[in-house]
Amino acid sequence: MRELENIVDEVVATDVLVIGGGLAGCFAAIAARGRGADVVVMEKADVRRSGDATFGIDHVGLRHDDPRISPVSPKEAARKLRENPFVDQRIPYEEVLAETYDRVMDLERMGCKVRRADGSFIRTPGISPATVLMMSVDQKKNLAQELGRLKVKVHNRTMMTDLLTYGGRVAGALGLNTRTGRFILFRAKAVVLATGKATRLYPNHQAPLGGFVVQGSSPACCGDGHAAAFRAGARLVNMEFSRYTLTPKNPAWWSSKGSMLHSKPPGLPEPLVDSRGRLLAELVQEEKGIDMLGTGGLYRKVWEMLKDGQGPLFYDMTSWPEENQKLITLGNVCERPIVLRYLRESGIDYRTHRVETSSLIHRCLELGVSGVKIDGQCRTSLPGLYAAGDIAGGTFFSALSGAITWGHRAGRFAAEYAACSELLPVDPGAVAEGRERVFRLLEGTGNLHWQELEKTIQLLLEDYVGAARNEPRMRRGRELLREVREKLLPQLKAANYHELMRSLEVGNILDVAEMHLLSALTRRETRFPGIRHYRIDYPHPDEENWRGKIVSLWREGEDIRIEILPPDQT
């Protein structure tokens, strides 16, 4: 220990370390603490305002056996999930889906309004009849207060820089306080990764500051956990799949889009029209057939039209019933309410005017699909390491519902594991190496700013992977990524601790970019409607060779291993 104290500024020992203080991380900490574990949360921002729920989330999917609560039962929802050949059949989905209602009631107990005074829910049936409105914008504030009440120790403004292992098991993590520069060793019997989705892989040409101001996901969730798990040897799956979203021309309207989709009248497609007022969903059905309907097929059509210079395109809710138009506004009251002020000051009224769209942007890797592989107890392939929320891969259950449900399960099972475990030894050499990797960015002689390198990686992925993929371009992209790692990454230079955090993020983005490209190169087919994984050299699904097959990858030493397996063997 004395040798370690000469390397780090502080040593923190705990039963369960939760990395990430968003929805999943807070619920993991609450659940673990409720089972008697000593719990520490490491959060890069501040648990009061962090992750995708920083400004609230306006909806949640509920499945319940009581039809007064939900028209969809856990058993019915689980059956539909299991029809997906890429789902791990070992996950107890009936049990998992049933827990979401209990977690929503936990939120209400903490002060987050969910139900009306008479106990009923406000339904937003635009996408699923199981979806209801969350009538509170302060989920994170109330969760932070609950952490305080339970005496969970929180390290805000502390970025996880690496996971530590010993004998093939997780032993803790290293963290950097991005305000003071203190380098902290966290020793833990169990670790829960809850660092959110992987964003910032592709350029956001529409948003100022490269996507930091106007973005549907928290830009702080940029794959830190994905990269750390990968470097530690955990398996990741489905890293080839992308989630694209259509951005409005006026970025002030961005956050209204999610509320709009959940508020649309049941049975109607997404209200996207061309300059002549024709619904794009109808055009897709005419050209592609019924299998291309839904967001995937619609976005393929949008991508084709924008690529060919056709436009402009608009969202048109002017003919919607007043009840559904009001639901959009109510959704914005509960998620990013500042948007209502932006709309008012910009003179935008979606009740009477169409809203022009601009371009498709890559929002993140596909939610609930791409990420660190977990089982029904949120265990990863690395003993002692758990994952929850949008970092978890292969679950097909994400967003608010998945975050609070998987988070609570991860905390429970991590606490059980910790109760039967001891703190593992920590290798001083690994800690010293981790410190050197961090602080050489401050002390080195490079002259490359983090924004320059991030933009280089983003443009490289856009040019050589992108929405339409083929083998020669991706192979060339892999060569260029190697050059970025060998020649440009060593030139990164940070002038202060904030820039140090951003520079470390860019290193993680590079790791995730490499996994994304390798997985896309490996899957020689087009899979899922739209442009989630569209190979122009393999333009159709290959049901014979790829149905029910998962691309799994992990790192052994300096080598990247890839396997193609059924989901219940990953």
Summarised one tens digit per residue, pLDDT across range 270-282 is 898 998 999 888 8
Which pLDDT score, from 0 to 100, does residue 184 have? Answer: 98
Strand 242-248 versus strand 355-365 pairing type: antiparallel
Is the pLDDT score of 293 beyond 60? no
Domain shared by 449 and 558, yes or no: yes
Q: Is the peptide bond before 312 cis (omega within 30 degrees of 0)?
A: yes
Question: Does 7 fall in a domain?
Answer: no
Closest CA to 209 of 195, 219, 199, 217: 219
The residue behind tokens 């569209």 is 534
CATH number at residue 522: 1.20.58.100
Domain shared by 333 and 462, yes or no: no
Domain final residue, candidates 118, 136, 154: 136
Domain shared by 357 and 435, yes or no: no
Q: 447: exposed, middle or buried (C-beta count within 10 Å: 0-12, 13-18, 19+)? A: exposed
Domain final residue, candidates 307, 337, 362: 362
Residues constituting the chain: 570
| Percentage of residues in the chain having pLDDT higher than 90 | 70
Q: How many domains does the chain have?
A: 3
Question: Does 540 fall in a domain?
Answer: yes
Question: Does 283 fall in a domain?
Answer: yes
Question: Does 338 fall in a domain?
Answer: yes
- Which pLDDT tens digit goes with each residue over 348-388? 888 898 888 877 778 899 999 999 999 999 999 999 999 99
Domain shared by 353 and 462, yes or no: no
In whole angstroms, give the CA distance from residue 520 to residue 87: 19
Question: Does 35 fall in a domain?
Answer: no
Instruction: Place 210 in a pLDDT band, splitting at 50, 70 and 90.
Output: very low
**In 366-424, where do the E strands start and end?**
371-373, 385-387, 392-393
Task: Name the residue range of residue 281's domain.
Answer: 246-362
- Which pLDDT tens digit goes with each residue over 400-415? 999 999 999 999 999 9
Domain shared by 543 and 458, yes or no: yes
What is the b/e burial string over 194-228, where b = at least 16 CB atoms within 10 angstroms of the residue's CB?
Answer: bbbbbbbbbbbebbeebbeebbbbbbbbbbbbbbb
Higher pLDDT, 385 or 54: 385
- Tell me phi and psi for residue 355, to 5 degrees: -115, 120
Domain shared by 250 and 345, yes or no: yes
Domain final residue, candidates 362, 380, 403: 362
Contact 195, 158 (CB under 8 A): no
In whole angstroms, give the CA distance from residue 275 to residue 540: 30
Domain shared by 558 and 444, yes or no: yes
Which pLDDT score, from 0 to 100, does residue 213 have? Answer: 46
CA distances 505 to 294, 388, 501, Å, are: 34, 20, 6
Domain shared by 259 and 358, yes or no: yes
How many other CB atoms sit within 10 Å of the CB of residue 304? 15
Which residues on neighbouring strands pair with residue 315, listed in sequence order?
Answer: 272, 355
**Which string of DSSP letters, residue by residue, matches 492-558?**
B--SSHHHHHHHHHHHHHHHHHHHHHHHHHH--S-BSSTTSB-BTTB-S--HHHHTT-EEEEEEETT
State the average pLDDT over residues 511-530.
95
CATH number at residue 317: 3.90.700
Question: Does 115 fall in a domain?
Answer: yes
| Percentage of residues in the chain having pLDDT higher than 70 | 95
Q: Which two tokens stand for residue 499?
A: 């820039």
Which pLDDT score, from 0 to 100, does residue 211 have? Answer: 45
In whole angstroms, give the CA distance from residue 471 to residue 478: 10
**In 326-423, where do the E strands start and end?**
355-365, 371-373, 385-387, 392-393
Which pLDDT score, from 0 to 100, does residue 2 have? Answer: 59
Predicted TM-score (pTM) of this structure: 0.95
Closest CA to 281 of 261, 251, 263: 261
Instruction: Place 221 in a pLDDT band, splitting at 50, 70 and 90.
Output: very high
Is the pLDDT score of 556 beyond 50? yes
Question: Does 275 fall in a domain?
Answer: yes
Domain shared by 434 and 555, yes or no: yes
Domain shared by 265 and 353, yes or no: yes
Question: Does 478 fall in a domain?
Answer: yes
Domain shared by 445 and 349, yes or no: no
Domain shared by 548 and 459, yes or no: yes
Q: Which long-range contacts (CB under 8 A, 24 or more apart) does 80-84 make?
A: 81/396, 81/397, 84/396
State the average pLDDT over residues 544-563.
95
Higher pLDDT, 255 or 283: 283
